[in-house]
């Protein structure tokens, strides 16, 4: 499979990061979202990231312009009829994702691969709403995409070997280290990471230690670059809660029950960095 043109659906932090690394690898990339305002915001973010690269000396102005020239804003999802691969990077919501994949299935050429950047939802379930389940796969990039080298490549029940190999090679072309993962709730990354974050929240909830103390123990004692509660704020507490609920629902095991304090913070709108307040304050 010769993948040369792709569409990324979703111009948020993950989507714009995927667009940047894809364009840098020589691919032609269409960036789609539900409005031009969101697309423009994504393009501004990419421009800023590349400008930072120029400032630090890792990128030339010529190279920056070359990368940007490969990115095309796409207001119409119907433009997916010209691509070899679509990478979906929208909200972590099964209803939204399956609705999008149903539409893409009718628009994309028969040869096209449909990939999801889901961090925890089952690829097999997403694939089942299409007429091409053998061509549906998971590509779980890490945040921030331009910096983090890992991509979890997730096979659904029907994903063909040919599609898996094509996506694996594409991940390498994009400068990433792909790791094959089977289709289980949370895959590997979030099945291990989120219960750790959840347990860190329980230690605060139960009064074992303060937020700062928990993070200090994990940074100094376990050599983590960021404490679990600081990391939760970075990811977004609503996202952490959503993934814990997917794990709890998927395994029906009480060890995955979300901490009540996590639920309370999300209900209060304390979502972390993006809202200005989580376990830490980000005002001013």
Whether 99 is catalytic is no
Q: Are 136 and 126 in contact (CB under 8 A)?
A: yes
Token pair in block for residue 236: 């977004």
Left if phi > 0, otherwise alpha if psi is -120 to 50, otherwise beta: which for 274?
Answer: alpha
Strand partners, 115: 87, 137
**Residue of 86, 135, 93, 129 lying closest to 110 (CA atoms):** 135
113-116 sheet: strands from edge to edge = 71-74, 28-32, 5-9, 85-88, 113-116, 136-141, 150-155, 177-182
Question: Catalytic residue among 74, 190, 198, 242, which?
Answer: 190
Question: Catalytic residue among 88, 140, 171, 242, which?
Answer: 140
Whether 143 is catalytic is no
Question: Catalytic residue among 45, 74, 119, 198, which?
Answer: 119
Strand partners, 272: 277
Question: Catalytic residue among 32, 117, 120, 152, which?
Answer: 152
Whether 140 is catalytic is yes
Under DSSP, the state recorded for 182 is: E
What is the pairing mode between strands 71-74 and 28-32? parallel
Instruction: Give the distance from CA 214 to its chain's centroid.
Output: 26
**Residue of 259, 118, 134 lying closest to 184 (CA atoms):** 118
Whether 190 is catalytic is yes
Separation of alpha carbons 227 and 206, rounded Å = 18
Which residues belong to the active site?
119, 140, 152, 190
């Amino acid at each position: 499979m010769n993948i040369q043109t792709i569409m990324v659906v979703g111009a948020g932090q993950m989507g714009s990061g995927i667009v940047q690394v894809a364009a840098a690898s020589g691919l032609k990339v269409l960036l789609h979202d539900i409005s031009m305002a969101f697309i423009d915001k994504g393009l501004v973010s990419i421009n800023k990231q590349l400008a930072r690269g120029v400032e630090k000396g890792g990128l030339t102005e010529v190279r920056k312009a070359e990368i940007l020239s490969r990115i095309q804003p796409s207001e119409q999802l119907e433009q997916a009829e010209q691509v070899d691969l679509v990478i979906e990077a929208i909200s972590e919501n099964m209803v939204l994702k399956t609705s999008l994949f149903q539409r893409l299935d009718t628009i994309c050429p028969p040869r096209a691969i449909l990939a999801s950047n889901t961090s925890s939802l089952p690829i097999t379930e997403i694939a089942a709403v299409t007429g091409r389940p053998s061509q549906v796969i998971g590509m779980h990039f890490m945040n921030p995409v331009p910096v983090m080298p890992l991509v979890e490549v997730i096979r659904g029940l029907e994903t063909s070997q040919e599609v898996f190999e094509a996506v694996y090679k594409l991940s390498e072309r994009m400068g990433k280290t792909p790791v094959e993962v089977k289709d289980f709730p949370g895959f590997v990354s979030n099945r291990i990471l989120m219960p750790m974050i959840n347990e860190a929240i329980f230690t605060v909830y139960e009064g074992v230690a303060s937020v700062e103390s928990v993070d200090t123990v994990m940074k100094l004692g376990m050599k983590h670059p960021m404490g679990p509660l600081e990391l939760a704020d970075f990811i977004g507490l609503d996202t952490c809660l959503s993934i814990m609920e997917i794990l709890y629902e998927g395994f029906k095991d009480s060890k995955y029950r979300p901490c009540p304090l996590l639920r309370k913070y999300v209900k209060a709108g304390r979502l972390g960095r993006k809202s200005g307040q989580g376990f830490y304050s980000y005002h001013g």
